[in-house]
Chain A
């Protein structure tokens, strides 16, 4: 599920014509934020709030670099991921001790939706989940509607395709792009929060383990549409679950083979998806301004 949140966030950013490799950093910051929030303020709500805030901070730095300074997006994103790895590691060791004594925090309990949770096969898998998952279910259609039907959604798509034309039409390109980046950061932070608060119940250095990059691949796989991205995230979730199934079946293969599945799948998905899909025309390109 964290993949879905992060990928939908990145979708917003990419439809605005930007590519935020720093998503990985936002997820990791969110995971750490969740730990701090949940263990100090107490409670899962505080954890998620802190996670969103941490993701927002990383996103603000990214916006500062690429919108205000007009730095290269890929390099800025890479630097922010590195920053997040270092900062969370440093703070974690400073606050909780370098040994990293297994710190447990309460996790979000699954809530079964009456009626559908008992459906065969998919019932338990889809409808007996922590609340954040239902938020994700609502987010995808909401985003799809917003992008397709609202004036602001149209403007977002416009700045991703022809930023110069959009600017001429009176759209504040930079302001809208900043908003997209910040929203993406919040969703990335929440994704990290989900890792800690709904899955692991603890934090480990570098625990995002490339999920930010997998999420970016999912955006490509989902062809830059909310439903496509949601489906892609589900597919990846299922594939990751498969590794446990294979292991349970007692396949005689080294366990590392299973651990590699998500990364290999990402590579395969990218190879298969690109070419058929069309990216926003201005992806990764800064708005040319006359300053």
Chain B
């Protein structure tokens, strides 16, 4: 069998596993809890792909932060960094963007400059948050899975403090920041409902990240350090420590940017529950995309639609929206299972990843 055909079969197997996992998990859970299957699935569909307005205003709007955090996770995992901290980095990024946007009266400086500054602050905030875990890993060998999760909780409490303290709205009644002035909102895309220009930002970032992995020396170093650190050091002359630290920061910056885009494009204020777990969903998004930022674009849209559909399912059919987490977990396990059956532990497949992947 040719390599191309094997690739095609594998792709098919993954897609089949995904479809079976989604449908099966959803139907089983609905059945087990005595909810109407048809009603639930109908609501899931109409709430996600039902109409152009729903698709753009609900599904694609939710796909934006997922695309950015998904690309962040994909880059990190490819570089051998298991960054589970997208949620915390996103929150810090959101806080940074809100702080900048609220601090700068739009009259004094030109608007695009303020927006750019706010988004830059978001990316820096995310990178700063990731740098704690990156430092702990580089200096003390602390497992980043644990440190990033701890930092997620710290970020949650940090936002909780900010919206009740320094960033609280002027009347000091509600735990949220003041609303960002209209001029600083990310402009909406024409003819696409509530979809904002953050979509273009996310798309650009995902495409650029995929291009970097495929075509640049930095991308090559990243993947080499992730695939086989020992070989990258000895044969490639790559400083794995530096490469790993850099990809960690970059990943944090992208997740932070997601928070900034969310604040300026959707919520227009900082509050506690600003993210319904985008940073965690991103892991499923990235794994399903087989850690390729280009495929992340598609999987982010799929998950954005799932999240939107789940909301509709809760409203229309009374099915708990947390069901989506179950579906996501089933998806991750399905993907992991189909990939593991290639038994990659016996067949070193370094070449497969290090060469530019065209598929």
Contacts and interface: CB of A to CB of B under 8 A. Distances in A.
Interface of A: 21, 61, 65, 69-72, 74-76, 78-80, 82-83, 85-87, 89-91, 93-94, 98, 205, 209-210, 213-214, 216-217, 220, 254, 256-257, 259-260, 263-264, 266-267, 270-272, 274-275, 286, 288, 290-291
Interface in B274-300: 280, 283-284, 287
B340 A256 contact: no
A82 B82 contact: no
A217 B343 contact: no
Interface of B: 29, 33, 35, 82, 84, 132, 136, 139-143, 145-147, 149-154, 157-158, 160-161, 164-165, 280, 283-284, 287, 314, 320, 322-330, 332-333, 336-337, 340-341, 343, 345-346
Given A267-B147, A270-B143, A86 B325 contact: yes
Given A69-B341, A71-B337, A83 B157 contact: no
A74 B143 CA distance: 11
B357 to A, nearest CB: 20
A65 B154 contact: no
Given A266-B150, A270-B146, A291-B343, A91 B33 contact: yes
Contact of B142 (A89, A210, A274): A274
A148 B149 CA distance: 33
Contacts, number: 142
Contacts of B280: 82
A90 B139 CA distance: 41
B29 A90 contact: yes
Contacts of A80: 329, 333
A72 B344 CA distance: 11
B346 A69 contact: no
Given A82-B329, A86-B323, A254-B161, A274 B140 contact: yes
A79 B329 contact: yes
Nearest to A288: B345
Contacts of A272: 140
B163 to A, nearest CB: 10
Contact of B337 (A65, A82, A209, A259): A65
Contacts of B161: 254, 256-257
A264 B160 CA distance: 16
Given A65-B336, A90-B33, A210-B153, 14 more contacts: A72-B336, A78-B84, A79-B284, A79-B336, A82-B329, A83-B329, A85-B325, A86-B322, A210-B150, A256-B158, A256-B161, A260-B154, A270-B146, A288-B346
Nearest to B165: A254
Given A82-B280, A90-B29, A260-B157, A271 B142 contact: yes
A248 B297 CA distance: 50
Given A69-B340, A217-B146, A86 B326 contact: yes
Contact of B333 (A21, A76, A214, A275): A76
A65 B333 contact: yes
A71 B340 contact: yes
A256 B336 CA distance: 37
A60 to B, nearest CB: 13
